[in-house]
Chains A and B, each alone.
Chain A
């Protein structure tokens, strides 16, 4: 069975640009969460989507947005990129929302120059 998949694996952007990251959850999983992991730190929660609705938002600026599609895949968008947005962006899926094992994808490594 395929796990959580993310694309692209690596991405290089310059300051001010916009980026879209994609995530496909495990088949049958309806909840998708996004995390940002800066080098040397633990992942930080950005968003959670369940049944195409936003169910949670972390302490991130409005430059960060996301959405979930009818097939439960998800996109994370970041506008007006800053150097500090350089990080590993992780997607996690779970069967339903709340207190369930979350399965993480391999992440997208974003570098902002």
Chain B
């Protein structure tokens, strides 16, 4: 079936360095992509989103890149901080459909 998956389950990055979290999706009908951050004991927190008619979107210290040709999504976090340590999920949505399909998640650990 269709699924959203992640390449790496864990990632450790030195504080201050940049990090890149990757995600592959298989649903060609996906129209909307979102990155969520989930800290221990909390619900997922929206980080940044991108629609299928874009290939890049920037926020504060975060950038999402979308490559529709290879169905690949990435989240770049610049100048990582200890508070960035969390599990990061990518999720996708079909047009007009509320359902989010989540990947397994990548645990990002920032090393002081």
The chain A residues found within 8 Å of chain B, CB to CB, are 4, 31, 33, 35, 40-45, 48, 50, 55-56, 58, 90, 92, 94, 97-99, 101-107
23 contacts between A and B (CB under 8 A): A4-B43, A31-B98, A33-B99, A35-B100, A40-B104, A42-B4, A42-B89, A42-B91, A42-B104, A42-B105, A43-B100, A45-B99, A50-B98, A56-B99, A98-B96, A98-B97, A98-B98, A99-B93, A101-B46, A101-B49, A102-B98, A103-B46, A104-B36
Query: Bound complex: CA of A4 vs CA of B43, how far in Å?
Result: 10
Q: Does B31 contact A (CB under 8 A)?
A: yes
CA distance A17 to B9 in the complex (A): 35
A102 touches B100 (CB 8 A): yes
Most buried by A among B4, B34, B100: B100
Complex CA gap A39/B110 in Å reads: 22
Task: Give the CA-CA distance A102 to B91 in the complex, in Å.
Answer: 11
Contact of B42 with A by CB under 8 A: yes
- Chain B residue nearest to A104 in the complex (CB): B43
Q: How far is the CB of A84 from chain B (nearest CB, A)?
A: 18
Interface range, B side: 20 to 34
Closest to B3 in A: A42
Nearest B residue to A4 via CB reads: B43
Interfacial chain A residues near B97, Cβ < 8 Å: 56, 98-99
Contacting residues, chain A, for B49 (C-beta < 8 A): 101
Contact A90–B98 (Cβ < 8 Å): no
- B46 contact set on A, CB distance < 8 A: 101-103
**Chain A residues within an 8 Å CB radius of B100:** 33, 35, 43, 45, 92, 102
Decide yes or no whether B44 CB sits under 8 A from chain A: yes
- Nearest 10 Cβ contacts at the A-B interface: A42-B102, A104-B43, A48-B98, A98-B96, A45-B99, A104-B44, A99-B32, A106-B43, A43-B102, A107-B43
In contact, B98 and A33 (Cβ under 8 angstroms): yes
